Structure 1
Amino acid sequence: MSSDPMTSPAAGTNRKRRWEYPALIALGCAVVVILGLTVVLTDAPGSSQQSAAEADVARVSEVQALLDSWARAQMSDDPTSLAQFVDAAAAPGLLDAEIRRATAAGALSFSDWAYEVSPGTLVEAARTGSPDGVTLWGAQVNLRYALDGVDAAPTRKSVLMTFAERDGSWFVFADGSIVDVLGSGSQLSVDSWHGPWDFGPLAVSTNAAEDSIVVGHPGQQAFVDALAADLDGAVKNTTQLWGDGWSERAVVMVAGSPEEFTAMVGSQHDGSSIAAVSVADTVRDGASDVSGQRIIFSPAAASRLTSTTRQAVLRHEMMHIAARSQTRDGSPMWVLEGYAEYAGNRGSGRAAREIAPTLAAAVRSGDVPSEFPEDSQFGGVPVVSSLAYESAWSINAYIADRFGESELTELFRALAVGPSTPEEINRRIVDVLGVSIDDLRDGWVDWLHRTLG
């Protein structure tokens, strides 16, 4: 307002009439009320939002304190101490499952084990049959962990948890990482990551330097030990080909069931058609270290692999681990998988026909490939996929044979940069090898005739 009628009387008035005083007072009160209402109406939404934000920060702080205590109890020598943090109305099997899980994880040494909850993630969980006087809150929290002496940086995995707020105190009401709390089979929460400790007791073995580790379950001890014995050779083989610009260590996990394999690698795999796969956290551009790197063997791997093929699979996946920081999705699969296949079979002493039996049979029958395999051929129909992988191996084996291993590695680095046009791929091949992609392809076809014919 530009003026206030209580402080601006009409000019030239010397004495107000007696009835004006009550009127002026009433008018002034009305103005104050109007101004007050204006302030309330203007500030109410912001004030409400600020109060809600402050309440959320307070809740998050209290839940974080609970999670800090929860994590310490999980890593303590007495996992039964978890009982003090489990809500009285939680599912009957929750506490026992949590104790079993913490006991299993105790077979490993962690340099970091904690939970993180962020502001804005706590959501009130309206649930039928909730206990009286209890408010339930759900949140996606991050389990942050690192294996001592192996992981250079911790990995973070998302877990859905539910918390009970009871009389000003907080408790764990539900934990999505727990498997089969109610005894109804292998029930896995699709909203939570699951580690090997979620699936029962662990069998652990390390390499001689104890900087790489294999984790499985007691019934897999022989296979776990065999993989641990293969680790040093796999690391040496990888460094010889790739160079020393990687961690030169690995975490290998052996799934005990298809459900565990799927939980650790994703819904696209159940382990029925592959022996192993490597996984990692999202690669940050420019990062030299990639967190969460794991090689996961399927539950059927032990019965499907010989000692030679077991070593080849481990070395294949180890190369993916070493090259991960310089590998981008969308790069040609004949480069990504072919290079790893070459690494896996390098120095194995196996004949080319033994490494690539499907391809060798095609060459002998006169059905020699005339083009590099397309990306779509590396999944789906087993015969097509086998031919694609073997062809990719043979392309890389040919490049190493003709140009040398250092040039092969240089070509991988040049081509594993993500989606590229045919012209860009050809230019990079010329820059590294001095020949066009057509000349490279023609030389490869001739090499197939000589090697597998």
Structure 2
Amino acid sequence: MVLTVGAGAVVGLVLNSDKRRDPFEEEAVAADPNSVVVTKKDLQALLRGHTEALNAGDLKAYTAIFESKTAGLIQQQTRVFNNLRKLPLTQMSYQTLQQQGRTQDSFGRGVTFTLDVAFVHQFEGVDLRPVSEWYRWTITKSGVDAPLRVTKVGGAPAPLGESKTVYYPGPWDIWPSVAVVKTERAIVLAHPSMAAQAERIAPIAERAAVNDLNFVAENGQRGEAVPKGFVVALAKGKGQLGNLFRQTKATEAGVSIPMPTWSGSPTGVKIGASRVVMDVTSPFFDTSEGIAEIFRHEFAHSAMASLDSGKFDLLGLDNWVVEGFAEYVANRGSAISANIRYDEGRAYLAGQLPEPFRGRIPDNISWDVQGMTGVNYLMGHLAMRLIEERYGERKLVDFVAAHYRGDESAAALQKVLGVGEAQFQRQWAGYVRAQLG
């Protein structure tokens, strides 16, 4: 069995980042004029100037904080600057998160330490709230009167979870240039070598966005907690898929990555945006309908993500609800026999898969058992179809929304549908047999 740490775990920790102990709150600044000291005020001034340079389009000032003797650093940060200036962002700023290491020396020697920095940003017309990507900078001050210099830039390590970093790297960090295709409800980002493909894909993404957003709105989910569109980055292969807005081993064809609102929200929206990454080498991209299906699936995740309560949970939301709902939206209106996993589902009932069918909806611990992940998606999908057929789409969306907002799935079944978990399991098992038998 594979135990997957839920995305909610990292989300919960990021949401609480502003509650970290201020590393300078107990700092005693030495009175000796020969001491080398870096204060909180110094770091705030450094980041404020960096922010102002980016927003003003002043490349020289933006790169001035980086050590020119570090090979490739100025070139790297020039690329970041140029890429960010291309993007439809309504705000950009750099904020301090956490400092580690010695920031003063009483003997006049230089100091070197690390500073975790949040790049706070918001895509125009798409992101509900500002979100952040976390960098780790190495900073030096070589003497009493020396300026601060950044000598290394990378991603801040994630405290736990599958990703090694916190929403790093963005495409602007690693691509030589960013091709941007904007529709009314989608912003598609691509490597320059894939710019033409992005142009072809963008209209399909737009239609999928309209489909999903209209569906959730027609079924009661609208207003400030529902995004107006989505940001998509195109990747070529699993290696790239796992190296955009995260650093992990990727196995999916696409992924929706929820990003917490920066420093809270007066409206209580915990998830301020999502980033959708698509592997264009997957079989879904062989046909226009396949592309549309995977976009509908991932956009369904993103459309509901901002309803997330953001509470810490090691395993996260129940996969059978989250993935089942996305599969339902992606395949809404199609016969179950047309599902790409239909034959696998029939094999499951016939006892031909690694695990036998026991009449229980798969839980998160067993979700990724080898040879079972695909059919588990189908099992979740069938649960959503059962709810829709018995209770209607409005109740289906209400049930899923209740789970995102913090109710355990069993509690949401009782509250929204008026059915206990054991009874629903029996209904579901009979429904699966009837659909696949």
Which TM-score bucket, shorter chain as reference?
A: 0.7 to 0.9
Give the direction of change, closer, same or farther, for the CA distance of 1:414–1:156 in structure 2 (3 Å limit).
Answer: closer
Partner of 1:314: 295
What one-letter code is carried by the residue in structure 2 that aligns with 1:218? Answer: P
Give the direction of change, closer, same or farther, for the CA distance of 1:115–1:106 in structure 2 (3 Å limit).
Answer: same
Cα separation, 2, equivalents of 1:396 and 1:335 = 8
How big is each residue's C-alpha offset from its partner over 1:186-242, in whole Å with a ceiling of 9 and x where there is no partner?
xx99689321111111121111x2x43111212223443344212332233223432
Contact residue 334 and residue 373 of structure 1 kept, 8 A: yes
Higher RCO (C-alpha under 8 Å, 6+ residues apart): 2
Q: Could you tell me which of 80, 84, 97 is aligned with 1:101? A: 80
Question: SS where residue 51 of structure 1 aligns?
Answer: coil
Question: In the alignment, is residue 400 of structure 1 matched against residue 388 of structure 2?
Answer: yes
Contact residue 37 and residue 103 of structure 2 kept, 8 A: no
Bigger mean CA deviation after superposition, 295-304 or 156-165: 295-304
Contact residue 94 and residue 120 of structure 2 kept, 8 A: yes
Cα separation, 2, equivalents of 1:141 and 1:335 = 35
Contact residue 56 and residue 122 of structure 1 kept, 8 A: no
- Return 5+ residue gaps in structure 1 as ranges: 1-47, 127-131, 179-187
Give the direction of change, closer, same or farther, for the CA distance of 1:143–1:428 in structure 2 (3 Å limit).
Answer: closer
Q: Could you tell me which of 229, 250, 254 is aligned with 1:276? A: 254
Cα separation, 2, equivalents of 1:164 and 1:277 = 38
> Shift of residue 150 of structure 1?
2.5
Give the direction of change, closer, same or farther, for the CA distance of 1:223–1:122 in structure 2 (3 Å limit).
Answer: same
Cα separation, 2, equivalents of 1:137 and 1:368 = 55
Question: SS where residue 121 of structure 1 aligns?
Answer: strand
Give the direction of change, closer, same or farther, for the CA distance of 1:345–1:192 in structure 2 (3 Å limit).
Answer: closer
> Shift of residue 385 of structure 1?
0.6
Question: SS where residue 66 of structure 1 aligns?
Answer: helix
Q: Could you tell me which of 296, 306, 327 is aligned with 1:341? A: 327
Question: SS where residue 375 of structure 1 aligns?
Answer: coil
Report percent identity of matched pairs. Answer: 21
Q: Could you tell me which of 354, 358, 368 is aligned with 1:379? A: 368
Question: In the alignment, is residue 144 of structure 1 matched against residue 120 of structure 2?
Answer: yes
Contact residue 332 and residue 416 of structure 1 kept, 8 A: no
Partner of 2:130: 154
Partner of 1:239: 213
> Shift of residue 74 of structure 1?
4.0
Q: Could you tell me which of 315, 338, 344 is aligned with 1:358? A: 344
Partner of 2:170: 195
How big is each residue's C-alpha offset from its partner over 1:387-424, in whole Å with a ceiling of 9 and x where there is no partner?
1111110111122123211121122234445574xxx8
How big is each residue's C-alpha offset from its partner over 1:353-380, in whole Å with a ceiling of 9 and x where there is no partner?
4453311333467976522222223224
Higher strand share: 2
What one-letter code is carried by the residue in structure 1 that aligns with 2:252? Answer: I
Question: SS where residue 153 of structure 1 aligns?
Answer: coil
Give the direction of change, closer, same or farther, for the CA distance of 1:400–1:344 in structure 2 (3 Å limit).
Answer: same
- Return 5+ residue gaps in structure 2 as ranges: 1-25, 156-162
Q: Could you tell me which of 356, 359, 378 is aligned with 1:370? A: 359
For residues 37-56 of structure 1, the aligned pairs below 5 Å read 50-51=28-29
Contact residue 87 and residue 171 of structure 1 kept, 8 A: no
Higher helix share: 1
What one-letter code is carried by the residue in structure 1 that aligns with 2:168? Answer: W
> Shift of residue 449 of structure 1?
3.9
Question: In the alignment, is residue 224 of structure 1 matched against residue 198 of structure 2?
Answer: yes
Aligned pair count? 381
Q: Could you tell me which of 182, 186, 205 is aligned with 1:206? A: 182
Question: SS where residue 91 of structure 1 aligns?
Answer: coil
Question: SS where residue 429 of structure 1 aligns?
Answer: helix
> Shift of residue 142 of structure 1?
1.6
Largest Rg, 1 or 2 = 1
Cα separation, 2, equivalents of 1:101 and 1:189 = 21
Contact residue 238 and residue 322 of structure 1 kept, 8 A: yes
Structure 1 runs of 4+ aligned residues shifted over 6 Å read 53-58, 283-286, 364-367
